Structure 1
Amino acid sequence: MLGSLGLDPLAQAVYSAMLADPTVGVRELTARLGTDEAQIRETLDRLVELALLRPSRERSGTLYPVSLVAGMQLLVRRQEAELAAGRDAVAAGRAAVADREPAERLIGLDSVHAELEQLMAGATVEVLSMVPGSAIPSASLEGAKDADEDVARRIRSRVLYHASVRKDPHTVAYGRWLAERGTEIRVSPAVTRRLLIVDGRTAVVPIEPEQPSAGALCVRKPGLVDQLIALFELIWTDAVPLGAPTKEETAAELSATDRHLLRLLADGLTDDAAGKRLGISARTVRRIMADLMDRLGAESRFEAGVQAARRGWL
């Protein structure tokens, strides 16, 4: 166990011996472990550096070991710090590359998948995904399951599918499985290109949209990434949750009265005036508008008018 935390076999043996008997000395360790004194002293220095051995307050000039639990915690924290430093170094290197090149070319599926795994594992804020196509192969869904679940558990994740996936039971089931774990899923007919954006800093797009095996471009230029985020947000705003009716379907469900009322209010008529035109009371006008606002997800009539216009209801 200690070996997996960075201790070599001799360091493990010395530390274990001192845990068993804190009074053991260099000569006894040398004899017991069958090695020379210089190696024992180097190992003791290493254990002191790792804070697994500390100067004794009771016996001047000697060392005592921290407990096994405390020692493991120290080693774990040290490894975590080293990993964090490594990630920072990689990020700095990538930033330096991004300053020189607008995009990094990832040639071949293996290179793309390796980069995606690293990006997803290191994500700390949000992952945005656009997935085109009417159906996603079951093997692809299964292969992405662990990474998708890990991201959904740690940070915010939003996915846009093409509206046609609603006809594919496997993709719909996978989308619902993701939604149960916190991922936000929406569908839109505007999803025609594959896109992944991680933490608002890195975007991955295919080199050839119709040929995924050709590879991908990894973009880190803030200006380019911001444009791709804006595209995602624009499509996201008009998309509908997976399982909900599309806006076209919802619009088709509007009654003639609903449509006429929306147009009258958009023209600036009051509730009383609109009601007289339609032959209904102002109270009925307010009830219909409250229902339409709820269907539009609007908090004000002005917002309802904007949303109705965007959806083609007017």
Structure 2
Amino acid sequence: MEEIQEEREYSRWEWFFYMIAIPALFATLLGGVLLSLLGYNVLGSVLSWANTIPIVEKIVPDQYAMSDAEEKSVDIGKQVSSLQEEQAKNKQTIANLQSETAKKDATIQALEKQVLDLQKLLEDKRTSEEERQKQYQDLAKLYATMSPKNAAAIVENLSMSEAVSVMSKMKAEQQANILAKMDPKKAADISIQLKDTVVNKDDDIAALQERVQILTKALSETRKDTTSIDSLIQTFSQMPAADAATVIRTLMGTDRNRAISIMAGLSHDKRAQILAAIAQQDSQRKENVAARITSELLR
């Protein structure tokens, strides 16, 4: 006789256990296994969470309870290491910037020194030019006290630039008297140059005057070989020793070679008189022009 078993109904708790609890537990375990395979510390996270539950925390081992703190510590260590590395890079950047700044400062100092040197050189040149103009002024005053014939004989044998510089310091009447006694060709050249010697502060005219001076100097160099010094020596031989000494002193500042050539061509007596006059002037001005001339003559 077959036994017929009747299917009994599950109670509410049994139904919950079999239909919900067991599948949920299985799904949780399966998910935990999958997460563990992916590298996630599932057990450590669960035990760390369990360590926060009263009573349960006593069952959970401390090593698992500390795992989360250890992870945080590792993260903090990485952050510290990253910050230290960044700080080292910043220090290197600062050092590079400081090095570049030092180089720029050195360059600026070098440029400032060059500017100061150029300014000093310019000032020295201005001072030298002022002294030279004063010498021309003194020479012009001396020629003005001489007879036009003697002055013309001296000026005629100067270079074009020197003659123009000296004549420009004279009055128009004095210029006319001296030019009238000179060679017509030389007088004409000097007359043309005299009208261009007016000092003008305008840059364009100043540049033109500089160009004229360069051309004048080139012209003087071209004519230097054809200039006769014999007549100039003869003129100095007839001049008083004091006047000749003043002229020679000035020429030593403007054209040393010409001054030495004149002194070398004079007679012994006349040269001695002029040197004595120059030496007397040296004692008053505390200079040594006479000694320089003597040294040049002995070469």
TM-score for both structures, normalised by structure 1: 0.21
Structure that is richer in strand per residue: 1
Structure that is richer in helix per residue: 2
TM-score for both structures, normalised by structure 2: 0.22
